[in-house]
């Protein structure tokens, strides 16, 4: 007996398993350091347990981790679980898998090729920036010469508040460094920043889309504070000019650093001569 006079008894197996699945979901929501493969397998387990254990009269609801699953996990769920589910649960599973695969197809869709013919597009895919208003850090994975409604459907949130130059300016699709999400950002709100090793790790760890859009990274060095993510072969097909723009920008950083170093050495020489 407890101090309040209530009887205490151990939880049954179903309660313990369901509690464990919710702990896994909470862990996924915290965006801890984990590969997408691990997160996908863990999320698949929580979905399976919900479908099999949650009471018939309880609302399962779409779990927050549904975007974590890899396509193969959706196919595995759709082909193995239906025989064990009633009609309502089967319908839920079908919709669940449909929504997840739609996201994968949306991210895999390759739009028409875009060239840097419009000089108003100042930035390029692979460039890291800080949002001037919201202060979050993002990496550009696509751009439009002006606000495009078709792109809006492929991002999690659109920033049009406090846009002083209107919608007829370049907008950029970006992955966030601190969470598995995307944004659509006006050019006027983008401020270039250095790509350090720690920041690159944050992107790769926290945002599963980075491994889809990029194949490598060029970090800042002591001699040059300009670094970029290098686009995947698929992204190069869409933005064929951006890699050369990035390389030119990085090279300009080397040249500026060399000029600054030469100026400092020249000043030191003249100062010694003066003494």
Q: What is the pLDDT of residues 6-27, one digit of tens each?
A: 556 666 777 777 777 777 767 6
DSSP alpha helix (H) spans, the chain: 13-29, 36-53, 71-80, 87-108, 149-152, 197-206, 210-213, 233-238, 242-274
- Rounded-to-integer distance, Cα 227 and Cα 221, Å: 8
pTM flag (> 0.85): no
Q: What is the pLDDT of residues 173-193, one digit of tens each?
A: 999 999 999 999 999 999 999
HSE-CB of 249 using CA atoms within 13 angstroms: 23
- Look at residue 145 and tell me whether its pLDDT is greater than 80: yes
Give, as one character, the DSSP assignment of residue 148. -
Q: What is the pLDDT of residues 56-86, one digit of tens each?
A: 555 555 554 455 577 777 888 888 888 888 8
Can you read off the two tokens belonging to residue 140? Answer: 């550009």
Instruction: State the CB neighbour count (10 A cutoff) for residue 199.
Output: 19
Phi, psi of 270 (to 5 degrees): -65, -35
Q: Name the residue among 275, 211, 218, 273 with its Cα closest to residue 250.
A: 218
- Higher pLDDT, residue 172 or 37: 172
- Higher pLDDT, residue 251 or 63: 251
Give, as one character, the DSSP assignment of residue 146. S
């Amino acid at each position: 007996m407890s101090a309040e006079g209530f009887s205490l008894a151990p939880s049954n197996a179903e309660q313990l398993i369901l509690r464990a699945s919710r702990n896994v979901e909470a862990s996924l929501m915290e965006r801890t350091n984990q590969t997408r493969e691990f997160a996908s397998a863990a999320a698949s387990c929580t979905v399976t347990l919900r479908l099999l254990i949650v009471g018939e009269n309880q609302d399962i609801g779409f779990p927050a981790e549904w975007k974590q699953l890899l396509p193969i996990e959706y196919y595995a769920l759709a082909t193995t679980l239906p025989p064990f589910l009633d009609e309502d649960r089967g319908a839920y599973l079908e919709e669940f898998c449909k929504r997840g695969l739609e996201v994968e197809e949306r991210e895999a869709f390759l739009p028409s090729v875009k060239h840097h013919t419009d000089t108003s597009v100042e930035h390029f895919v692979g460039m890291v920036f800080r949002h001037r208003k919201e202060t979050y850090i993002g990496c550009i994975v696509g751009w439009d010469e002006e606000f495009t409604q078709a792109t809006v459907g492929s991002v999690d949130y659109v920033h049009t508040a406090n846009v002083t130059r209107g919608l007829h300016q370049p907008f950029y699709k970006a992955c966030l460094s601190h969470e598995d999400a995307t944004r659509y950002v006006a050019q006027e709100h983008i401020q270039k920043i250095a790509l350090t090793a720690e920041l690159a790790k944050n992107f790769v760890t926290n945002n599963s889309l980075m491994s889809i859009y990029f194949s490598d990274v060029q970090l800042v060095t002591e001699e040059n504070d300009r670094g970029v993510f290098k686009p995947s072969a698929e992204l190069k097909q869409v933005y064929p000019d951006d890699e050369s723009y990035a390389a030119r920008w990085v090279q300009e950083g080397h040249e500026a650093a060399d000029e600054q170093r030469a100026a400092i050495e020249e000043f030191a020489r003249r100062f010694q001569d003066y003494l």
